[in-house]
Each structure stands twice: as structure tokens, then as C-alpha cells.
Structure 1
Amino acid sequence: MFGATTNYPFNFSNRLGIPLIESTNITVNTDNVVIGIPKRAFRFLNGNGVILFRLNTAIPETASTLPILFASNEFTQALTLVGGEAATATQLNGAGVYFVYYDKNANILQLMSFAPTTTTATQNTTETDNNN
């Protein structure tokens, strides 16, 4: 079967399900954060699809505004948000598993799920009391 018993650089999160790619290292530079992934991590995957990405180590808070790059071999790809803007360390706010869309032909690596660090509560202050 696939996974740890073969030479594939990814494991399936369930039986022939969504591939899981894990970070190997994190390098914080002055202008970006580079997350290392295994060599040839996307080689055996289809042209586009989804992966689960496991960030094994949290990115330091001092790098929260820096854009994220994934690096494997000589390949470097920017991680973006659904709107196309660069994903920053703020969106990868801790070690954990993230849902990512990829398209090898269009060079897209897009973060689809993240936990926002701030929340806003919407309150309806115009409610009326109809119990008169």
C-alpha cells in the first residue's frame, strides 16, 4: 500500500484519500518565511487537487506579517489565500493541519482553511421587544 512502506514523499490521510504533506523545516528570512517540504512531494499527485498540509513547528510570531513560500528541491512556490493575496504566518497560526488547493500547471498553492487570529462579534442592537 502507499505511505511509509514505499518511497512516496506523502502519505494518504485515509485509504487512498487526501494526500498529507508535512513540513520538514522552517527558515525565517527578512522578506519571507520558507517552509521546507519533502523532495518531489507533488510528483505523484494529479495536475490539481487538494492536500492536507501538516505544519510540524509553529512559525515564530516575529514573522507574522511575512509571506509564506514552500520549498522543495529547486522549486519555490508562494502560498496564497483564496483571493490571490499572499498568505502570511498569521494565517498559519500554529502547528497543525491545513487544507490546501494546488494546481501544478497554473503554479497555484492556495490555503483554503485557516483559523483567523481575531474574531468580530456582530450584535444586533436594533431588536425590539415584542412582548408588550
Structure 2
Amino acid sequence: MRDRFPSRRCPAGTEAFRCHGAEHGPWWFANAEYGRFDLADTHGTCYTAESEQITPLETWGGMRVIPGTELAARAVSRMPITTDRVLADLTSNTAAQFGVTAEIFTTGNYQLTQMWASALRAAGFDGIR
């Protein structure tokens, strides 16, 4: 699947950005199955963004007003990617040939999106774009 599914190379030296709890470092991996693409098991999922401006959307997407206490409890970090990574590109129109639609980014059916994450990891991808 990895050789046919659309991918995006993320070269070493690329910066990713993360909005996270200020009391934690940015390299935190979720595996509690609460997040859209959480991997269950010891691998977990680290949600990042391609720009600093996008990071709040991951945390507060859809909110019109963000309480100041919430903002004060968060930090935005730059995270250097230290080795080349190959990401499954769910944003590619070619992904539709595999059954991926824009719904994957909005559905509340996290069981489905987590199954995608697991299958893409098993196919050898280092992450999802």
C-alpha cells in the first residue's frame, strides 16, 4: 500500500509546530484513543502542524472565544524533525481512490479514523498529513 498511497516526504530539518499544555514538553504521544488518529499501544500519536498559526486550530478548532485561562495554560513549540519521514498524505486528491474523503478530518467516528491511522502505520508510513 505504501508504494501506491499518496505520500509526502518530510525531510530532516523541517520544523513542525505543536500547541500543548505548558506543563508538558511538546514531544508527547497520545495513545488513549481520544484523538482522531490516536494509535493504541506504545507507539501513540504526536499531533503537529506545518505552521505556528495552525496549531491553535488543533486544540480549539470551531471555538469563537478562547478563555484566557486556556491560553495561559498552553504553549506553542517549534519541533525540529531530525530524520527524514514519509507521511501518508490524506490531503491529496489521489487519496480518494483509496476511499479517503474530506470527512476523515471532520467525522466524530474516531474508531474509523483510528483504524486508518493503524493501517497506514502498518503499511510503513511514519505519520499522516
TM-score (norm 2): 0.27
Computing the radius of gyration over CA atoms, which structure comes out larger, 1 or 2?
Answer: 1
More helix by share: 2
TM-score (norm 1): 0.26
Higher relative contact order (CA 8 A, sep 6+): 2
